[in-house]
Structure 1
């Protein structure tokens, strides 16, 4: 199992600096908690989250590619397979809030009819 964390390649002082910056990103995310009908489910939250993960990709692209992008590819593949297995049925996908922005974009690009009832 891959165990490297995003900041592992950096010195201790740089790692602390990056951890503080990540903490600020998390505060920005949480500041949008009530922007939508359901806590942590809004376009405001998704925008901050996407920017945070874009920043993490710049900090350590290899880790983000493995821990985030590869994971998303697996998640979308599973949804596509489920759609194929249950053609014509409605499917509810449940995932963590940080995945919203990616899920919506990837499923729309895959040509799936994505409904956003909670926004």
Structure 2
């Protein structure tokens, strides 16, 4: 799909993004748990979406919609319970963005 030169350029750009993200890994009290880390992560996936939107829509966005739907369903099923969601650090920004305005969900985010 990409010639060798473009593939190399894209891989180098992704490395720069990941280096930038990892430069703030310890901004919060818990590693990889800060608004700074999440902002860069969000930018990375926005950039990746411009590189190949079909792949991002299928492997990233669809996955996120499923993950947050499960949280919403659990919150409805157990309205008076606390729910712990464990996921990789690159999903934090999406959870926050998708759940922060939910009426019956209170987020403790980021953990500081």
**TM bucket normalised to smaller:** over 0.9
Cα distance change on mapping 1:99 and 1:117 into 2, 3 Å: closer
Q: Unpaired segments of 5 or more residues in structure 2?
A: none
Q: Unpaired segments of 5 or more residues in structure 1?
A: 1-8
In the TM superposition, what is the alpha-carbon distance from 1:110 to its structure 2 partner?
Answer: 3.5
Number of aligned pairs?
111
Aligned to 1:39, what secondary structure does the other structure show? Answer: coil
Post-superposition Cα deviations, 1:42-100, rounded to whole Å, max 9, x if no partner, equal 11101111111110011111110001100000001111111122111011111100011
- Which residue of structure 1 lines up, in the alignment, with residue 53 of structure 2? 61
- Which residue of structure 1 lines up, in the alignment, with residue 93 of structure 2? 101
Counting only pairs closer than 5 Å after superposition, residues 1-119 of structure 1 correspond to structure 2 as 9-111=1-103, 112-116=105-109, 118-119=111-112
TM-score between both structures, scaled by the size of structure 2: 0.93
In the TM superposition, what is the alpha-carbon distance from 1:113 to its structure 2 partner?
Answer: 2.0
TM-score between both structures, scaled by the size of structure 1: 0.88
Q: Which runs of at least 4 in structure 1 moved beyond 6 Å after TM superposition?
A: none
